[in-house]
Structure 1
Amino acid sequence: MKLSYLLSTLLILFITPSFSYAQSIIFIKDADSGEPISGVRASISNGTAAFSDEQGKVTFDLEEKSKITLSHLAYESSSLDLSQGQSLTFRMKKRTTQLSEVVVSSFGTERSLLNQAASVSKIEEADLYRFNETSMVNAFNTKPGIRFEERAPGSYRISIRGSSLRAPFGVRNVKIYWDGIPFTAPDGTTALNILDLTNTDGAEVIKGPAGSIYGAGNGGVISFTQKEVQENSAEVEAMGGSYGLQKYRVAVRQKTENGSLSASFVKQKSDGYREHSALDRSVLQVSGQFNPSDRQELRTQILYSDLFYEIPGGLNADQYAENPQQARPGSANQNASIKQKTLYGTLVHAYDISSKWANQTSLYIQTTDFENPFNLDYKKETQYGYGGRTKFTLDDKWGQFPVRMIVGGEYQFANTSAQNFGNRNGQADTIRFSDDLLASQGFLFQQLEVSWTSTILMTAGLSENFSRFDINRTVDASTGLPYEVGRTFDPVLVPRIAISAQLNEKSSVFGSISSGFSPPTIDEVRTNEGSINLDLDPERGTNYETGYRGAFFENNLRVEGSLFYFKLNETITTYTNDQGVVLFRNAGATDQKGFEAKVDYDLIHSPGSWLQGLRIGHAYSYHHFRFKDYYDGGEDLSGNKLTGVPPNNLVNTLDLQTISGLYLNFTYQWVDSIPLTDDNSVFQDPYHLANLRIGWRTRIGEAWTMEAFAGVDNLLDEKYSLGNDLNAFGGRYYQPAAARNYYGGLKFRLAY
């Protein structure tokens, strides 16, 4: 017995230290306040996961050194290495709290927002999911200077500082990138409606011309980013709502030895608020990310989108007052609608050539089948295109001054076979004309950044731009004779110079002078009734801007503001002929002066309390935009307000988060009266728009998370039009938006 007792004691003494040694502990705290954070998910690559308790403590039994991934809704995801038996404290940073921590890639280089010498708005993933998740419209409209319009479900139009003047439909005069890929076609149009908001995790928006490094587009640049795969997961979502809204999504993300794979499918349908305004969209996305070596990264994607939506058409004032849900007479009979099937293939290669040189090259190939029966005609198009962008970055010193030099180029080409027919009760009738359309654009760019001191950064950039289109009319029913026309635009030099000065660790000022240009699109030169206007000239403009960014009260209060003056020459505007066809012309010049401001304040940030966070935000835009030297039929319209632009726009937001997972998002927007005609004889009335979403996020066991949500759009039941038809023939200006409507849904996520 004594020997047995002795052996047992020795065995316990031997084993006990090994168990004690194997236990590893992380104490997770807020980086600013030092308070413990509960509810942080800590996961190991083998699938093991745990959650921090009220003291912010997470415990693992590790057999070897492991990489731990930390994630929390209110904090930036992080990773760390944890050894067997190790105990450490890790501080997590709040999401986009400090301006110095908000990194943006504007003008081709990653820097903190505090050091950016431009007006840049960042759309976070949380912004996209404050609303009903059916479109990106509401998220973009919370930012100053940006107006995202939806004339009917799926029919988008984007105005950045009034840039939608020449866009009766579709996205024009704004350059758009998707994961570094040029997403805007070489003819200047962007089919943004083929994307679901789940195809991105956010965006950066440059307001004003950025042609020195991004080419054509006076409105600005929108660059959509992609979500990185942090861990293996599977996701299922479903939602429904008013007017027959249905949406579901399935997705899977898988980490590999040297990268990751992901796939998602989204289906969205609705009957629409108005007659003949149904939408049906399916989007499949397959992505891969690989690291062949420590110095290389490859990203590739396949995107297929099948989009259909009906076009109810504009109403005049009497029809709008009588029944805003009705469609324009004839729209349903003629089956006015859009059918569009698009396939994208992309490849992005990033390579650190040396300690100083790096390169990123992006390539894409694309094909689209497009069908558009309308009240007056029937259009069919088949397009294929390709393009790419490359840039070389050098980080070096010029004497004692750190410098960064960027050189690169971009090229795009598209070939479109387009036919226009008569429309007989929604079916293609006799052909009117048929064209083969070729569009190409390219530019070279150079940019130099010099850090004159630790707080002063100067940026100088220049691009050389080239563009051409050719129209080969193979069928012309009016003359019976084929012909070819084309236009090569003169090379355009687009310069920019900017300076950013950091006043202290939490505030900075900037100033910039930037040039911009925007050639007419083929849709503006070649219109639906068959005419070709080769005399339409590109817009040219210069933007002068100064701004301030700062943070106060331990970074809980964040302020941004900018003043700008944009002078635009050869402004392209719309008008409508007697048949209701939208045509385009150059209309002299415009003077666009404005002020934009954004304020965010964290009233409560207490991770350990029941009420973890309470944030309010304000965004305000004042746009004093006027025509200059503009004559229409002998009438002097100089001094009139710019068509389609509200002078004032105010957005207020409130976000609440609790430790139990309950959350609330409330948004209120006031939009000033909008001029609907160049002569300022008709205005849309001001309107108040309120949206509310509430939800509950919780965890089920160690691997599952669940979210239930519900919301109300247009809470005040306001009567308004979100995307008017400007200078419309017959007074058909109004595209009524939905009355008060409801939605709700469930999300499940499995981390494995």
Structure 2
Amino acid sequence: MKRLLLFTALAVTGLVSYSQQVKGKIFDATNNNPLPGATINLAGKTVTTGADGMFSIDCKTAEITVSFVGYDIYRQKIRNCDEELSIGLMRSGHTLDSVEISATSAQNKSMLYQPVSITKLAPAELKRGQGIFFDDVIQTSVPGVIMNRRSVSGGQQFNIRGYGNGSRGTRGISSNFDGQGYKVYLNGIPVTDAEGITTLDDIDYASIGNAEIVKGPAGTLYGQAIAGAINLQITSPEKGKTSLAQQVMLGNYGLQRYTTILQTANQRSGIFLAYGKQKSGGFSIHNSSHKDFVNFVGDFQAGERQTMTTFVGYTDSYDERLGELTMAQYQAKDYSGNIEYIKRNAHSHVSTFRAGLAHTYRFGKAIANTTSIFGTGFRSDASSAGGWTDKTSVNYGFRTSFDTRFNVGNGALLSGITGMEIQRQDAQIVGYNMKANPSDPNPGGPWVYGVSPYWIVNVVTSNTAFVTTPTAYFTEWTLGLKNDLSITAGIGLSSQRIVLDDRFNSPAATVTRPAHFDTSYKRMVSPHVAINKVFNRHVSVYASYSSGYKAPVSSYFFIATPQVGTTPATARVNDVLKPEKGTQFEIGAKGNILNDKLIFQVALFYLKFSDKMTAVAVPVPATPPTATAYSYMINGDAQLHKGAEASIKYSVIKDGNGIFTNVTPFVNFTYSDFRYGDNFILKTGTSTAAGGIDTMNYSGLDVFGVPKLMMAWGVDVATKYGVYANFSHLYKDPQNISLERLTNNPETFALRKATSYNLLNAKIGCRRTLSTHFDFDLFVGINNITGVQYPMMIFVNQLPDAYIPAPPKAVVYGGLNLKYGF
């Protein structure tokens, strides 16, 4: 009997002991990889995770703490010891992360082993501010890149290392009229269309969980990326978790943002589904914005050798345009806008549907293939002072690449990436002029905002249908030698075909005017050579040469002349226009030293953009010429860019055990000595008799739209209580805007500049886990704390149009994010 009682007691004790063990897995929340060696503390006991990220520890109904070098500390209340935990850690931004979504031939994906300037943006940077406007992220965290907005969240564009963007009509030198020169990808799908124009109005930046910016010509792996490439990725589902989240943000100027997120994932599949609704009344008249976003990401592992991922997204975006301010308006702080824009209901309305499917198959240790197919349906209508434009297009294509790895003896490893990308766009653009609304209660009188109805679409002024087909073939190889020395060499071959049909038959056109245009730009060869050396796995230095091209877009490649007198209208392919070319020499260093507390990236470069495309004006046959008959594109001189960029972070406190768990100051620095070549002289003009024809000399001037010095610094702070704070300061030097003609005979010009400015931004919040099911994040922030005047965008070389102003007062916002875990 005693033995039976003793056996029963021991069995009960064992069962109780077993039931008091809590188990779980720790993994990287960004890519779902297990984190071996993570430290778990619970009720005074400490364990570490194994190679698979798994752990078990004696359970108490207390708070569990999980820490791992380079990741934010995670805390959670344990209320049920029988529930297996699945904990994803967020990267703290304290280390040089690995390249995840940018193409690379290096076998080691750590940033230390990449002989190129790449800035990686993790959630720490993406959510430092409001998290819904990407220009805030770029200006604070990415040296060498400028991002502008033409409205609350429309007309967005990048300017990488001073390349600029597309040229506009008769305004001469390359301006920033649209997004050209860079390639943007969203979950592997090109956002940049097949003629090389990037529209960013339809991107839901609040759902972006990872971004990588390649700076400088990237033609070897990305085709026509003369200035660089931007890879964006929607947040991936957290493996081992199912959750439903609701996020709300409100702010002044009528800002509202609502996001609902459902995500679930296990070891072999994951789904992320988000719906976002965003509104703003704007800070002035005719300045409102509204957007609807739907994003779906599905990740599936079909077996040990293959994985599949799919992305589907829909966006409807509408942004009113206030119009550009003149220099006089801006100086007087008159934000009433441009009446010619407002009465035409100036706006940008974009609706897109994107879908892509990527499949990766590993044939073995030496070779793997990733192939993706994608398509985008795009429709936009936009109006401005110049009239109304409708665009409908379909972009589709595929990208395939083989990743290879071979041991070549003596400890050397040869790894490479080889593939191709083909894209096609079928598009139609129809332009209209506009007229006063017949229901105007004051016909013929002055147009009055709020009283007079908006103007309406009138007659067709242009109608073009075109097909653009870029192709890119690439191969790049990295030879990894002993002592962490590597040599990289690659080459890309790109081409572009444009076929355009002019379907507009104006009264001035004749049957002798051609309406069909077809041309190709071939043999755009972009080599890349680099050498990289890593010291003690903490510091690397590199030197590289890279190149890239930019072919003309559909509106550049033909010349159409109107009927003048008895001379009939004509048109022809501009067969002397050739692609721009970018070549760059760069040296740099990267590192994480002092126990990974000091993280830095430094780059010095010399970048030359040759054969810069620019518009010239042909005057009407009159003496003196007082108006422009037509304009066309030519290749001008070169732009010579010498620059220095640095990004430095130092963790004063890192993974601390006291009140402060993280205190990290950061500095991002950009110096740009960018100049036009010695023979940058051209003729330009306007379509009005008062404008005339100007002979413009840009030779030796600083490139327009680029400050000589930009610097951002700040500090990120976190405490063990979940309270966090971010502070940042941004400075921009003065920058050239335009040459303004003062007198006609002789022609004299004044160089107009935008003034420098400083911005102060701050955010404070509290992020806590309330239970095993509930997480919350409550925050409030202020942008432009001191209320300084500054522009959201400067229109380069387009006087009298000059400024898109930012809100004149501080932008105040606050929000609450709630997440329920099932």
Specify if TM > 0.5.
yes
Q: Residues 157-182 of structure 1: CA distance to partner in whole angstroms, max 9, x if unpaired? A: 10110122535334221111122222
For residues 67 and 246 of structure 1, do their structure 2 counterparts lie closer, same or farther at Cα, with a shift above 3 Å needed? farther
Partner of 1:158: 158
Query: Match of 2:609?
Result: 568
Aligned pair in 2 of structure 1 residues 682, 469: CA closer, same or farther (>3 Å)? same
Query: Would the alpha carbon gap of residues 372 and 580 (structure 1) be closer, same or farther in structure 2, given more than 3 Å must change?
Result: farther
The one-character-per-residue Cα deviations of 1:332-391 (angstroms, maximum 9, x if unpaired) are 110111111101111011110122110001111111111112211111111112011100
The 2-side partners of 1:396 and 1:29 are apart by: 32
> 2:288 maps to what in 1?
278
More moved, 497-506 vs 577-586? 577-586
Distance 1:417 1:352, change over 3 A: same
1:145 aligns with 2:144: yes
Shift in alpha-carbon separation, 1:96–1:120, aligned structure 2, 3 A: same
How much has 1:662 moved relative to structure 2?
Answer: 0.8
Question: Deviations for 1:575-595, whole angstroms, at most 9, x for unmatched residues?
Answer: 899799998553311110011
Q: Structure 2 matches for 1:158-557, cutoff 5 A?
A: 158-166=158-166, 168-230=176-238, 231-255=241-265, 258-400=268-410, 401-425=412-436, 426-477=455-506, 478-479=508-509, 481=511, 483-525=515-557, 534=574, 535-557=576-598
Q: 1:11 and 2:36 equivalent?
A: no
Match of 2:807 in 1: 738
**Residue 107, structure 1, aligned to residue 104, structure 2:** yes
Unpaired stretches in structure 2, ≥5 consecutive residues:
35-39, 58-63, 75-80, 167-174, 437-454, 563-570, 619-626, 684-694, 740-748
The TM-score, its normalising length taken from structure 2, stands at 0.82
CA contact (8 A) 2:25 2:55 kept: no
Change in 2 beyond 3 A, CA 1:102/1:421: closer
Amino acid at match of 1:502: V
Structure 2 partner of 1:687: 757
Range moving further from structure 2, 365-374 or 661-670: 365-374
Instruction: Give the match's secondary structure for 1:99.
Output: coil
Q: Is the 8 A contact 2:243 2:821 kept in 1?
A: yes
Matched AA of 1:328: N
- After superposition, the Cα gap between the structure-2 partners of 1:29 and 1:269, relative to the gap in structure 1 and judged at 3 Å, is closer
Does the Cα contact within 8 Å between 2:726 and 2:763 map onto a contact in 1? yes
The one-letter code sitting in structure 2 at the alignment partner of 1:673 is P
C-alpha change, 1:675 and 1:646, in structure 2 (3 Å) is same
Deviation digits for residues 619-639 of structure 1, max 9, x if unmatched?
A: 111110010020123554211
* Deviation sequence 1:665-707 (CA, Å, 0-9, x none): 1110100001012677000000001111111112222110011
Stretch moving more, 478-487 or 491-500: 478-487
The residue that corresponds to 2:660 in the other structure is 611
Which sits farther off after the overlay, 467-476 or 323-332? Answer: 323-332
State the shift of 1:470 in Å: 1.3
Corresponding letter in the other structure for 1:452: L
**Is the partner of 1:475 in helix, strand or coil?**
coil
RMSD (CA atoms): 3.4
Aligned match for 2:127, one of 126, 129, 132:
129
The equivalent residue for 1:630 is 680
The offset of 1:128, in angstroms, is: 1.1
Q: Give distance in 2, aligned partners of 1:199 and 1:526.
A: 40
Measure, in 2, the Cα distance between the counterparts of 1:721 and 1:291: 47
State the alpha-carbon separation in 2 of the partners of residues 254 and 157 from structure 1.
34
Distance in 2 between residues matched to 1:493 and 1:470, nearest whole Å? 22
Paired amino acid for 1:158: F
Which is worse superposed, 172-181 or 617-626?
Answer: 172-181
C-alpha deviation, 1:155, in angstroms: 1.9
Cα pair 2:234 2:297 within 8 Å, conserved: no
Structure 1 unmatched runs, 5+: 32-39, 46-50, 79-83
For 1:510 and 1:301, locate their aligned partners in 2 and report how far apart those are by CA, in whole Å. Answer: 35
- CA distance in 2: counterparts of 1:473 and 1:722, whole angstroms: 36
Using the TM superposition, give the Cα deviation of residue 490 of structure 1 relative to its aligned residue in structure 2, in angstroms.
Answer: 2.6
- Count of aligned pairs: 721
- 8 A contact 1:695–1:707 mirrored in 2: yes
Partners of 1:155 and 1:93 in 2: CA distance: 32
Paired residue secondary structure (1:543): strand
User: CA separation in 2, counterparts of 1:582 and 1:718?
Assistant: 39
Question: Could you tell me which residue of structure 1 aligns to residue 116 of structure 2?
Answer: 118
Task: Calculate the TM-score normalised by the size of structure 1.
Answer: 0.89
Which letter does structure 2 place at the counterpart of 1:403?
L
- Alpha-carbon distance between aligned partners in 2 of 1:607 and 1:29, rounded to the nearest angstrom: 20
How far did 1:486 drift?
2.3
Output the CA distance in 1 between the equivalents of 2:133 and 2:362.
37
* Counterpart secondary structure, 1:111: coil
Change (3 A) 1:131 1:495: same
Does the 8 A contact of 1:576 with 1:728 survive in 2?
no
Query: Tell me, what secondary structure is at the counterpart of 2:206?
Result: helix
Matches within 5 A, 1:600-749: 600-628=649-677, 629-633=679-683, 634-677=695-738, 681-729=751-799, 731-739=800-808, 740-749=810-819
Q: Which runs of 4+ in 1 moved over 4 A?
A: 5-9, 25-31, 51-60, 65-74, 90-94, 100-104, 523-533, 573-585
Q: Are the aligned partners of 1:336 and 1:373 in contact in 2 as well (CA < 8 Å)? A: yes
Question: Are positions 1:590 and 2:639 aligned together?
Answer: yes
3-state DSSP of counterpart to 2:328: helix
Asked whether the equivalents of residues 104 and 113 of structure 1 are also in contact (C-alpha less than 8 Å), the reply is no
User: Mean Cα displacement is larger for which, 678-687 or 183-192?
Assistant: 678-687
- Deviation of 1:229 after TM superposition, in Å, equals 1.6
- Tell me how far 1:454 sits from its aligned partner: 3.2
Task: For 2:252, give the aligned amino acid.
Answer: S
Identity among equivalent positions (%) equals 24
Match of 1:107, SS? coil
Q: Determine the C-alpha separation between the residues in 2 that align with 1:707 and 1:255.
A: 22
Cα distance change, pair 698–277 in 1 and its aligned pair in 2 (3 A): same
276-285 or 223-232: bigger deviation: 223-232
Aligned residue type for 1:470: V
Change (3 A) 1:77 1:428: farther
The change in CA–CA distance for 1:488 and 1:528 in structure 2 (over 3 A counts) is closer
Match of 1:36 in 2: none
Cα-to-partner distance string for 1:25-51 (whole Å, 9 max, x where unaligned): 6799999xxxxxxxx9xx9x9xxxxx9
CA contact (8 A) 2:534 2:540 kept: yes
**Match of 1:677, SS?**
strand
State the AA in 2 paired with 1:258.
R
Question: Structure 1 residues 532, 156: CA separation in 2 closer, same or farther (over 3 Å shift)?
Answer: farther
Letter in 1 for 2:806: A
Q: CA separation in 1, counterparts of 2:27 and 2:593? A: 18
Deviations 1:465-521 (A, max 9, x none): 110111101123241657111221132111010010112221110000111111122
Q: 1:228 aligns to what SS in structure 2?
A: coil
In structure 1, what is the Cα distance between the partners aligned to 2:573 and 2:320? 29
Aligned twin of 1:23: 20
Distance in 2 (alpha carbons) for counterparts of 1:283 and 1:432: 33
Q: 1:527 to 1:506 in 2, by over 3 A?
A: farther
Work out whether residues 26 and 58 of structure 1, in 8 Å CA contact, stay in contact via their aligned partners in 2.
no
Q: Secondary structure at the match of 1:707?
A: strand
Change (3 A) 1:170 1:745: farther
